[in-house]
């Protein structure tokens, strides 16, 4: 090192040496400036020497054997250890994942992959998911875009249309009024809403009750106004289901006497449709119905009754299931009259009680932070914005906005009320549920003559679809008990699914409700079936929870 430094200094001091090869000094002298002195030469040599020395020292240190942890290198500079300290405690620390989230890492990864596949298959711009386990949110995430034009990504706080999950929210209002003795579910609706006219079916006076409205058994129409098409479709579906049931029973029991039952059933259906063995005329789907795209602003639920109150009933009340959002418009009017409050005011009180602070009715004028835009594909298969719609005519049946987090809170409140009665004997300190256990059992009990369009294994209950526990064969498919509701609106799809833990008196010790998995998914694309996806996700988390 000393020889190297001496050589550099000597060369710099020699005439025509380093100075002549250094463009800076030559230019300095050619510019007529005073000549650079030996101090500059010495400084240059010293600088070069120090630079080379640091480089050689670093190389030599890397070549030395590693020191034992018990005997640290005494020459190691504190600055040299800084990178190691940063790796332990970085300057910009990230919040570690909650312990429960880490427990479900496998389920989260699997569910995220499933959602990516669903999103890609349907071409949805964005999708948001939330999952809670035993009352604790363990995963929420957004995929894709809430606003494609402005490249705003989806996130857990994204607000979207929840569509028909609004019916389950409205059911809570009806249940609270029923528990308070302010609402009778089984008297004619005219007792509360005389503006709705009395009805006849085939010349016979019939009664429409609140209970029938809740379970879509009132006979009030949905968006399709053609009664003939609706009846033909219902008859065809009933016949098809009967054929499937007969074939299953024959295969299961090896009997043939079901043939007589089938013949009898065909006779009963003759008045419903003439061409039972052929498909009915094509009926428009909901998104081809003009009423779905209403732009008119209705001031209250009573005013919106004029859309359908004078239309004939499609079926005798109680006889057949006919899904009807307009039935829930009538239920909103019943809530107003039974409570003495405006429907939206009463619902906002419920949302406040449930801590659902981002759930509001959809209106165009207010600024709603994190609200997504909604999309559809046009005839050329291009993504376009949906047209403007005003949902004031159907607040109760499909007019609310929410987030996955709020829907998880709602699901957990329902599950808590459903289960708390089982835990009362083992834990007397538990708080009451928002709804009483007997109310929740009533709400989640399947109603005869109903259908669950998003899972044919289930039945409709009271503003929820319910699949009951069932297992036909040993070591084969086991059907879990769950409750859910899906939603489909202009440019939006949604689902809220509750998978209760299978409890018995021996397993509730040292546990508190709610016990189970809640999954909520919202999407800014219409006609996306999400119930089976939510069920798969719930079962993935239930598996990790059991393990």
Percent of the chain topping pLDDT 70: 73
Neighbours of 152 (CB within 10 A): 15
Number of H helices, E strands in the chain: 18, 15
> Which residue, chain included where needed, has tokens 């006889």?
319
Q: Report the alpha-carbon distance of residue 442 to residue 181 in Å, rounded.
A: 16
| Annotated catalytic residue 278 | no
The answer to whether the CB of 488 falls within 8 A of the CB of 376 is no
Q: Given a cut of 70, is residue 430 above it in pLDDT?
A: yes
Instruction: Of 19-23, 194-198, 433-437, 526-530, give the lowest mean pLDDT range.
Output: 19-23
Mean local confidence (pLDDT), 228-243: 80
Instruction: Of 93-107, 116-130, 232-246, give the lowest mean pLDDT range.
Output: 93-107
- Amino acid 248: pLDDT: 58
Backbone angles phi, psi at 263, to 5 degrees: -65, -40
DSSP states of 100-148 as a string? Answer: HHHHTHHHHHHHHHHHHHHHHHHT-SEEEEEEEETTEEEEEEEEEEEET
In a domain, 326, yes or no: no
Strands 459-460 and 375-377: unpaired
Q: Given a cut of 50, is residue 17 above it in pLDDT?
A: no
Higher-confidence position of 504 and 185: 185
- Amino acid 130: pLDDT: 98
Q: Which residues pair with 492 in a beta bridge?
A: 489
- What pLDDT band is residue 41 in, cutting at 50, 70 and 90? very low
Residues 122-138 as b or e (16 or more Cβ within 10 Å = b): bebbbbbbbbbbbbebb
Residues 225-241 as b or e (16 or more Cβ within 10 Å = b): eeeeebbbbbbbebbee
In a domain, 410, yes or no: yes
- Amino acid 88: pLDDT: 32
In a domain, 204, yes or no: no
For the chain, report the end-to-end CA distance as a whole number of angstroms.
65
Let me know how long the chain is. Answer: 547
Q: Report the alpha-carbon distance of residue 66 to residue 48 in Å, rounded.
A: 29
- What pLDDT band is residue 239 in, cutting at 50, 70 and 90? confident
Q: Report the alpha-carbon distance of residue 516 to residue 496 in Å, rounded.
A: 13
In a domain, 27, yes or no: no
Q: Report the alpha-carbon distance of residue 137 to residue 409 in Å, rounded.
A: 9
> Which residue, chain included where needed, has tokens 């024959």?
250
The answer to whether the CB of 139 falls within 8 A of the CB of 518 is no
In a domain, 91, yes or no: no
150 CB-side CA count, 13 A: 8
- What pLDDT band is residue 269 in, cutting at 50, 70 and 90? low
The total number of structural domains in the chain stands at 1
Structure token pair of residue 242: 């009967």
Look up the pTM and report it.
Answer: 0.77
Catalytic residue among 111, 132, 140, 164: 164
In a domain, 23, yes or no: no
Instruction: Of 23-27, 117-121, 234-238, give the lowest mean pLDDT range.
Output: 23-27
The answer to whether the CB of 335 falls within 8 A of the CB of 349 is no
Mean pLDDT score of the chain, rounded to an integer? 82
Tens digits of per-residue pLDDT, 165-187? 999 999 999 999 999 999 999 99
Q: Report the alpha-carbon distance of residue 306 to residue 298 in Å, rounded.
A: 10
Tens digits of per-residue pLDDT, 437-491? 999 999 999 999 999 999 999 999 999 999 999 998 999 999 999 999 999 999 9
- The dihedral sign for the CA sequence 512, 515, 521, 527: negative
CATH number, domain containing residue 496: 3.40.710.10
Percent of the chain topping pLDDT 90: 63
Per DSSP, 207 falls in state: -
Higher-confidence position of 350 and 44: 350
Q: Given a cut of 80, is residue 56 above it in pLDDT?
A: no
Structure token pair of residue 332: 């909103």
Q: Given a cut of 70, is residue 117 above it in pLDDT?
A: yes
Tens digits of per-residue pLDDT, 392-422? 999 999 999 999 999 999 999 999 999 999 8
Q: Report the alpha-carbon distance of residue 135 to residue 43 in Å, rounded.
A: 72
Q: Given a cut of 80, is residue 63 above it in pLDDT?
A: no
- Amino acid 257: pLDDT: 53
- Amino acid 12: pLDDT: 44
- Amino acid 64: pLDDT: 38
In a domain, 277, yes or no: no
Domain carrying residue 386: 105-164+382-470+477-546
Q: Given a cut of 70, is residue 330 above it in pLDDT?
A: yes
Residues 3-25 as b or e (16 or more Cβ within 10 Å = b): eebeebbeebeeeeebbeeeeeb
Q: Which residues pair with 358 in a beta bridge?
A: none
Structure token pair of residue 325: 């959002």
- Amino acid 282: pLDDT: 53
In a domain, 445, yes or no: yes
> Which residue, chain included where needed, has tokens 């940063």?
86
């Amino acid at each position: 090192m000393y020889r190297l430094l001496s050589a550099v200094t000597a060369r710099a001091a020699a005439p025509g040496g380093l100075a002549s090869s250094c463009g800076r000094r030559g230019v300095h002298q050619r510019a007529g400036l005073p000549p650079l002195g030996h101090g500059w030469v010495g400084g240059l040599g010293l600088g070069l020497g120090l630079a080379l020395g640091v480089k050689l020292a670093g190389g030599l240190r890397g070549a030395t054997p590693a020191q034992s942890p018990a005997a640290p290198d005494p020459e190691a500079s504190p600055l040299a250890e800084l990178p190691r300290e940063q790796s332990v405690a970085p300057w910009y620390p990230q919040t570690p994942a909650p312990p429960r989230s880490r427990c479900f890492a496998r389920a989260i990864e699997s569910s995220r992959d499933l959602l990516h596949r669903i999103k890609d298959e349907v071409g949805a711009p964005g999708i948001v998911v939330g999952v809670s386990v035993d009352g604790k949110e363990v995963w929420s995430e957004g995929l894709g875009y809430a606003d494609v034009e402005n490249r705003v990504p989806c996130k857990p706080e994204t607000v979207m249309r929840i569509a028909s999950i609004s019916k389950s929210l409205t059911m809570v209002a009806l249940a609270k009024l029923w528990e308070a003795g302010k609402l009778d579910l089984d008297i004619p609706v005219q007792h509360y809403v005389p503006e709705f006219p009395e009805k006849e079916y085939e010349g016979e006076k019939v009664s429409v009750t609140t209970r029938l409205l809740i379970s879509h058994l009132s006979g009030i129409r949905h968006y399709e106004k053609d009664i003939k098409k609706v009846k033909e479709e219902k008859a065809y579906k009933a016949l098809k289901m009967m054929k499937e049931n007969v074939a299953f029973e024959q295969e299961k029991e090896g009997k043939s006497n079901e043939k007589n039952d089938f013949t009898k059933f065909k006779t009963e259906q003759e008045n419903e449709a003439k061409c039972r063995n052929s498909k009915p005329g094509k009926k428009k789907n909901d998104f081809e119905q003009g009423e779905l795209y209403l732009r008119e602003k209705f001031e209250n639920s009573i005013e919106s009754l004029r859309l359908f109150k004078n239309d004939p009933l499609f079926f005798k009340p109680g006889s057949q299931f006919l899904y009807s959002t307009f039935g829930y418009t009538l239920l909103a009017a019943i809530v107003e009259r039974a409570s003495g409050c405006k429907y939206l005011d009463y619902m906002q009180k419920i949302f406040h009680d449930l801590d659902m602070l981002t759930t509001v009715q959809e209106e165009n004028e207010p600024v709603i932070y994190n609200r997504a835009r909604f999309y559809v594909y046009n005839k050329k298969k291009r993504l376009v914005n949906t047209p403007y719609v005003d949902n004031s005519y159907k607040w109760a049946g499909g007019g609310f906005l929410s987030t996955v987090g709020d829907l998880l809170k709602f699901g957990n409140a329902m599950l808590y009320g459903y289960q708390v009665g089982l835990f009362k004997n083992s834990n007397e300190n538990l708080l009451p549920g928002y709804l009483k256990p007997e109310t929740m059992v009533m709400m989640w009990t399947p109603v005869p003559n109903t259908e669950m369009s998003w899972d044919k294994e289930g039945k409709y209950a009271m503003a929820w679809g319910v699949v009951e526990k069932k297992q036909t064969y040993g070591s084969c498919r086991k059907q879990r008990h769950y409750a859910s509701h899906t939603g489909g609106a202009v440019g939006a799809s949604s689902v809220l699914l509750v998978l209760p833990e299978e409890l018995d008196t021996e397993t509730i010790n040292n546990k508190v409700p709610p016990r189970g998995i809640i999954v909520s998914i919202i999407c800014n694309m219409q006609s996306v079936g999400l119930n089976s996806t939510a069920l798969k996700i719930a079962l993935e988390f239930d598996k990790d929870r059991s393990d």
